[in-house]
Amino acid sequence: MLRSWERLNALSLALLPLTLIFLTLTAIRRLLFRVGILTSTKINVPVIVVGNVTVGGTGKTPIVIAVAKALKGAGFTPGIITRGYRGDGLSREVTQNSTPDEVGDEATLIFTNVHCPIWVGPSRVKSAQQLVAKHSEVNVIISDDGLQHYALKRDIEIVVVDGERQFGNGLLLPSGPLRETIARIRTCDFAVVNGPQNLNLPVPTTSMKLIGDTFHKLSEPKITCKAEDLLKHQVTAIAGIGNPERFFKHLQSLGLRPNTKRFPDHHQYSFADLDSIDSNIVIMTEKDAVKCGTNVRKECWFLPVTAEINGQFIQTIIEKIKNYRG
């Protein structure tokens, strides 16, 4: 989230005319879908959408992974569709040979953690159709970051909220971070707050936190270490994600006090990026790791994290899918 979106300021106020245009266009678009001028396509399996009303990283991908794993554990065969942002833009299946340059870093990360059919592409409808056509065994689809993609009908909507940054200054783009008004949350089925904050939201709400304390060596991922093994070294933490501060705070909770370096979200790393870091050891997120590959000249470690979700959230979703009648 841009610093100018955190609170009202001169820039956000100056951009209000553009924000009013954005508000009008989004309202008209939703109305056109509501009255049927723009149509939504129904897929013949239940669709779960995980998204947010703000731009930037809120923690959607770990929730997609957690829900997919839980569904597999309950006997379902989930498939996942995602945009493939920063990939080559082609509609395609994600395989073990896919690269982040082709399918994007998030799709690569999801495939690494959940071995189920995954399809990327600019159209959520076409991706869902191609996925179920190729994989007839898929009986539930999870759409990663598809809350505003109304062309695809959905059966369950999960909105993810950053518990720390919340909704910024509460304004729509470009004056603020909102893709849609906060009132949009009322139409969702569930809300997940990433962080300990107890937000008063108008739908069933649960909280989540990202957990993980075992680092993996980038060049040999089977080699692991703990935070205490890194304390005696000069360490720099890098992050090219939507909210780098969350990663850096997580490292601090493990007892580390590394130097930090931020890169743009979805940054494509080069040798020069890592070589420019003075520290002997570089630590990064798993999302960064899939873009760096194993052929690096520095000693690098990445930290996988998983979403720990409170309450009966996952079980409620499983029960809803079990009771699905099409």
Token output for 39: 């149509």
Transcribe 163-177 into DSSP letters: TTTTTTTSPBTTTSS
Q: Which two tokens stand for residue 71?
A: 């569904």
* pLDDT tens by residue, 86-123: 899 999 999 999 999 999 999 999 999 999 999 999 99
- Residues 52, 100, single domain; the answer is yes
Question: How far is the C-alpha of 207 from the C-alpha of 174, rounded, in Å?
Answer: 28
Clarify whether residues 163 and 243 are in a common domain. no
Share of the chain above pLDDT 90, in %: 87
pLDDT (tens digit per residue) in 241-294: 989 999 999 999 999 999 999 999 989 998 899 989 999 999 999 999 999 987
CATH number for the domain harbouring residue 150: 3.40.50.300
What is the share, in percent, of the chain residues with pLDDT greater than 70?
Answer: 99
- What pLDDT shows up at residue 1? 66
User: Do residue 110 and residue 219 come from a single domain?
Assistant: no
Question: Residues 147-203: pLDDT tens digits?
Answer: 999 999 999 999 999 999 999 999 999 999 999 999 999 999 999 999 877 789 999
Q: Which of 1-10, 184-193, 309-318 is predicted most confidently?
A: 184-193
What does the longest C-alpha to C-alpha distance in the chain come to? 63
Q: Are residues 176 and 280 in the same domain?
A: no
Per-residue pLDDT averaged across 6-23, rounded? Answer: 95
Look up the pTM and report it: 0.94
DSSP for 222-264 reads T-EEEHHHHTTS-EEEEE-SS-HHHHHHHHHHTT---EEEE--
Contact 60, 158 (CB under 8 A): no
Whether residues 176 and 291 fall in one domain? no
Q: Phi-psi region for residue 311, left (φ > 0), alpha (ψ -120 to 50) or beta?
A: left
Residue 295: which pLDDT band, with cuts at 50, 70 and 90?
Answer: confident
Q: What is the per-residue pLDDT for 319? A: 94
Residues 69 and 194 in one domain: yes
Alpha-carbon distance 301 to 79, whole Å? Answer: 30
Domain encompassing residue 317: 3-209+309-322
Same domain for 88 and 235: no
What local confidence, expressed as pLDDT, does residue 281 receive?
96
The domain total for the chain is 2
- Locus of tokens 């909105």: 159
User: Token digits for 65?
Assistant: 């992974």
Q: Tell me the per-residue pLDDT of 205-254, one tens digit each, with 9 for 90 and over.
A: 999 999 999 999 999 999 999 999 999 999 999 999 989 999 999 999 99
pLDDT in the model for residue 84: 92
112 lies in the same domain as 221: no
Contacts 24+ apart (CB under 8 A), 322-325: 322/74, 324/46, 324/155
**Residues 183, 188: Cα–Cα separation, whole Å:** 10
